[in-house]
């Protein structure tokens, strides 16, 4: 009887911990695996034939069209340079130099990649995204404001609520994935202030 109970207990531990740890690992994998440069994490290599087993498993959890290394390198920031989670109630300044890429796009989206939904009706619902060809550059670099209130220069409207993430995709990057995030200066993200502060 005791032996049977022990076997059942072993099985329960194995099933619960095994399944739970796999789910948590897949959920956290992008934060755990990617190379880090400032606030930016390199997105895991979805679609890479040489991908580690966790990235390969993660790739199969959703429907997506992966991009090749030659096409694009993608970086994700969920926090500012100070380590504070990005919050739509705050305003941020993103400052960067010229990236070694043909073009790059920068967008704000929900923490799991869903589009941000405008939470109020102040002005038109502008999408919070910009690309290097419609951006103003001063010399070699650019400065961009993320805020609910319109700002002069490059502005990304933040008209939603709650946490968000920034996604930077560089296309036809001159350097390979392995060196891009480390040698190239990815933009800095500095919090300017918060509405509720």
Note the residues at the interface with other proteins (CB under 8 A).
2, 6-7, 9-19, 21-22, 25-26, 46-49, 51, 53-54, 56-57, 59-72, 102-103, 105, 107, 113, 115, 127, 129, 131, 133-134, 167, 169, 171-172
CB 46, min distance to other proteins, A: 7
Nearer to other proteins, 147 or 169 (CB): 169
In the bound state with other proteins, the residue whose beta carbon lies nearer, of 2 and 138, is: 2
| Residue 27 φ then ψ, to 5° | -65, -40
Q: How far apart are CA 143 and CA 180, in angstroms?
A: 21
For 127, the token pair is 């999408």
DSSP code, position 122 = S
Closest approach, Cβ 181 to other proteins, in A, equals 18
Q: Between residues 54 and 155, which has the closer beta carbon with respect to other proteins?
A: 54
Q: How far is the CB of 180 from other proteins (least distance, A)?
A: 14
State which residue, 166 or 191, has the beta carbon closest to other proteins. Answer: 166
CB 187 to other proteins: min, Å: 17
DSSP, collapsed to helix, strand or coil, labels residue 157 as strand
Pair of tokens at residue 80: 């500012």
Taking the complex as a whole, the smallest distance from the CB of residue 163 to other proteins amounts, in Å, to 18
Using DSSP, state whether 194 is helix, strand or coil: strand
Residue placing its CB nearer to other proteins in the complex, 133 or 140: 133
CA distances for 69 relative to 2, 44, 63, 66, 185, angstroms: 56, 11, 19, 10, 19
142-147 sheet: strands from edge to edge: 154-157, 142-147, 90-96, 188-194
Quote the tokens at residue 113. Answer: 């990649």
């Amino acid at each position: 009887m005791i032996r049977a109970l022990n076997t059942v207990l072993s099985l329960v531990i194995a099933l619960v911990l095994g399944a739970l740890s796999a789910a948590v690992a897949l959920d956290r994998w992008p934060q755990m695996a990617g190379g880090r440069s400032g606030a930016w994490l390199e997105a895991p290599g979805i679609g890479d034939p040489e991908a580690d087993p966790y990235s390969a498993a993660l790739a199969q959890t959703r429907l997506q069209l992966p991009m090749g290394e030659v096409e694009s390198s993608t970086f994700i920031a969920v926090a500012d340079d100070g380590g504070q989670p990005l919050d739509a109630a705050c305003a941020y300044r993103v400052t960067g130099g010229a990236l070694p890429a043909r073009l790059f796009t920068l967008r704000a989206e929900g923490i799991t990649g869903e589009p941000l939904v405008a939470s109020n009706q102040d002005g038109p619902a502008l999408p919070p995204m910009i690309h290097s060809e419609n951006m103003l550059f001063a010399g070699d670099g650019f400065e961009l404001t993320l805020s609910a209130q319109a700002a002069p220069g490059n502005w990304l409207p933040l008209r939603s609520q709650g946490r968000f993430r920034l996604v930077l995709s560089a296309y036809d990057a001159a350097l390979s994935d392995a060196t891009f995030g480390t040698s190239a200066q990815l933009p800095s993200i500095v919090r300017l202030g918060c509405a509720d502060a």
